[in-house]
Chain A
């Protein structure tokens, strides 16, 4: 397996009216070629911001430090001009709400050919031809009609397919999909996820799938990272994570989700997600943790390798390897 993208010790703070918000607190993760990496966590855990930092789409009040290595270059050090060559070409992104990613005033034809023309330097006719091919690739019936439509004339699922088609137009090596199916019905969700997996086989790109739905993770991802309050708390192969979750937060999440196959008792996690303006010291999960030890209040546990396929950041397992 070859490394495609590696995030090392990524810190991100936002200067806000109320003070500094410590949004990412040393995130580490590696995405390999040809894999689907799932990033899960609850609202405000920093999963979307992580992907925004990869593309450097951060607001001006953000302070970033750390490294994001892609093709041997640290993306955080690149100029805006160099970033433009990567954004949309080598790394492209699909967002949650396809309606707000498309301009409601223009036909799909204009929006697609504009993007394709700009990046490929080709004529309008060629761009339209290419757009038609792409729409066929994402299984949209009757591409001619789609090209002549305005975004509101398409359903949510169709709009998301258009966005995926656009994201694919430059054969990216990484596709970031930020909650791509959250706004869609389950039957359409299944169609879109299957489409992404099919296209991945065909075009050989890696996928960074950001989601809060552990069912979606189980069905589509190869490896998973679990985030909590700006920390990566556990990274493992998908089967291992569900079978042998090690971090108390991961365990808590798994016992809190209902299973459609049978009725099992739900054990909710105590308490609430902490405020990032004043995050708990030490391990950020300690106020909600059932296995809290004195050390958890003072020292942040590092993400350590428990086995080749399993990394966890918790003092419970600290003695296993590094210490």
Chain B
């Protein structure tokens, strides 16, 4: 296994102006110093509540947003320094799948044209044949080729979006909540499809999601984000079976479990309050306002990462104390 993507201290601040004549500039720190790396062929899930910065991280990695600071390495090269015109060649290998398949497909284009568009750009030979093989690889048939997006179901639309991304032979895919607009039975189809494609073609996935059950199913590693920072990162077993950060623990306890017998066994712990505004993040540890274990030091000093186990990093002052 070798490293495909690495992000170092990635920051994305959105400026906005306020005050008379917009003289005062403030920043919304959507992503505030994120570091992680991804091996070829693995799935890393980026998990967090609304406003935690998970989507911004994904988009910044493809330079759909220009990063404010930090480095992004793709196959060992720092891609933040490449001029945008030349960057196109690299970005072809990095594709994105969005949450709402309908709004990511042009309603005026037939399925054939949607999938063929990026291939024309790359000057592909026999388009018809190529499009058909792409459709088949995502479980669609020839009869879908000349339909329009509103004539097919949501699950099929998401398959078309996947086929379009596959056409250019990418290595790295950012999947931004690819199943949260779909029904459960269709969600299972898409998750299985993504898994099979990964096995066949060795894709690397950054899987952005707020649904921890889906994350448990699809990913090998998990990063938990809160207010633009990664609070805990580790393998899927480390995160789900021995979570160390108080936020991770409480988040996991909020997940509904599809087994009524489990209800009685579990301790009832509720995570109080709501995620603070990223415009005005708390000092010190961003989680201290909701943390049941918060002490004075948490308000003052931002904790460093502690490696509790190999590959399992926790950003908490008391990571080793709280059990």
Contacts and interface: CB of A to CB of B under 8 A. Distances in A.
Nearest to B240: A260
Given A219-B263, A258-B217, A259-B216, A42 B254 contact: no
A268 B258 contact: no
A63 B22 CA distance: 57
Interface stretch (B95-103, B114-122, B185-193): B185-193
B168 interface: no
A263 B185 contact: no
Q: Secondary structure at chain B's binding surface: helix, strand, loop or mixed?
A: helix
A261 B257 contact: yes
Given A185-B49, A212-B183, A219-B257, A266 B188 contact: yes
Contact of A272 (B153, B253, B272): B153
B213 interface: yes
Contact of A258 (B213, B253, B270): B213
Contact of B188 (A188, A219, A267): A267
Given A258-B217, A266-B192, A272-B153, A253 B184 contact: yes
Given A190-B270, A190-B271, A238-B260, A258 B214 contact: yes
B183 A42 contact: yes
A148 interface: no
B184 A214 contact: yes
Contact of A268 (B156, B189, B216, B274): B189
A290 to B, nearest CB: 13
Interface string A300-314: 000000000000000
Contacts of A158: 274
Contacts of A62: none
Nearest to B181: A43
Nearest to A41: B183
Instruction: Give the interface size class of chain A.
Output: 35 or more
B270 A194 contact: yes
Contact of A260 (B50, B184, B185, B213): B213
A239 interface: yes
A242 B236 CA distance: 26
A188 B275 CA distance: 10
Contacts of B256: 186, 189-190, 213, 215-216, 218-219
B153 A256 contact: no
B212 interface: yes
Given A218-B257, A253-B185, A155 B274 contact: yes
B260 to A, nearest CB: 5
A262 B212 CA distance: 11
A186 B217 contact: no
26 contacts: A157-B274, A186-B212, A186-B256, A187-B250, A187-B251, A189-B256, A191-B272, A214-B258, A215-B258, A218-B258, A239-B260, A239-B261, A253-B184, A254-B258, A256-B184, A256-B188, A257-B188, A257-B213, A258-B217, A259-B257, A260-B212, A260-B216, A261-B240, A264-B217, A267-B188, A272-B153
Interface of A: 42-43, 155, 157-158, 185-191, 194, 212-219, 238-239, 242-243, 252-254, 256-264, 266-269, 272-273
